[in-house]
């Protein structure tokens, strides 16, 4: 049996490079073709070079030619939601109905749509 998105996100979190915040964040994104990509947060001593787990997973998918997200799972021990920048990047590659699941270390899961989390998103459609 294949691993669940939660298991893959938790697995990715173990690879976080977070020597400054000590936060371990993992993400797993499934694309419309059923492929899954994992991401962890990767901090940088410049701080500005830091990238969140969600964006790592999404950019891995896009760099492999997968440009339509179907679901995303974000894991932290404390159940942190995605930041605004990650929500904006999701908006580029997903519909407002994208299922975003936030999981914590106790097994609690909160499920929202991208549109719920970023209701007035700036979308590619604004530039047409």
Comparing C-alpha atoms, which of 125, 58, 113 is closest to residue 85?
A: 58
User: What is the per-residue binding string for Zn ion in 3-22, x denoting contact by CB under 5 A?
Assistant: --------------------
Count of residues in contact with Zn ion, rule CB under 5 A: 3
How many whole angstroms separate alpha carbon 21 and alpha carbon 42? 11
Structure tokens given for 79: 């159940």
Residues catalogued as catalytic: 54
Q: Three-state SS for 81?
A: coil
Q: For residues 22-51, which are near Zn ion according to CB under 5 A?
A: none
Q: For residues 48-107, which are near Zn ion according to CB under 5 A?
A: 52, 83, 86
Tell me how crowded residue 91 is: count the other CB atoms within 10 A of its CB. 20
Minimum Å gap between C-beta 86 and Zn ion is 3
* CB of 81 or CB of 115, closer to Zn ion: 81
Site residues for Zn ion per CB under 5 A: 52, 83, 86
């Amino acid at each position: 049996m294949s691993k669940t998105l939660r298991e893959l996100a938790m697995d990715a979190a173990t690879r976080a490079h977070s020597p400054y915040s000590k936060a371990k964040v993992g993400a797993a994104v499934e694309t419309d073709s059923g492929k899954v990509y994992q991401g962890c947060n990767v901090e940088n001593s410049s701080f500005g070079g830091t990238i969140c787990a969600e964006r790592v997973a999404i950019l891995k998918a896009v760099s492999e030619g997968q440009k339509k997200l179907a679901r995303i799972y974000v894991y932290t021990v404390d159940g942190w939601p995605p930041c605004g920048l990650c929500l904006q990047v999701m908006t580029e590659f997903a519909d407002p109905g994208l299922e975003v699941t936030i999981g914590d270390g106790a097994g609690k899961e909160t499920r929202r749509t991208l549109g719920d989390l970023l209701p007035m998103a700036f979308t590619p459609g604004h530039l047409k």
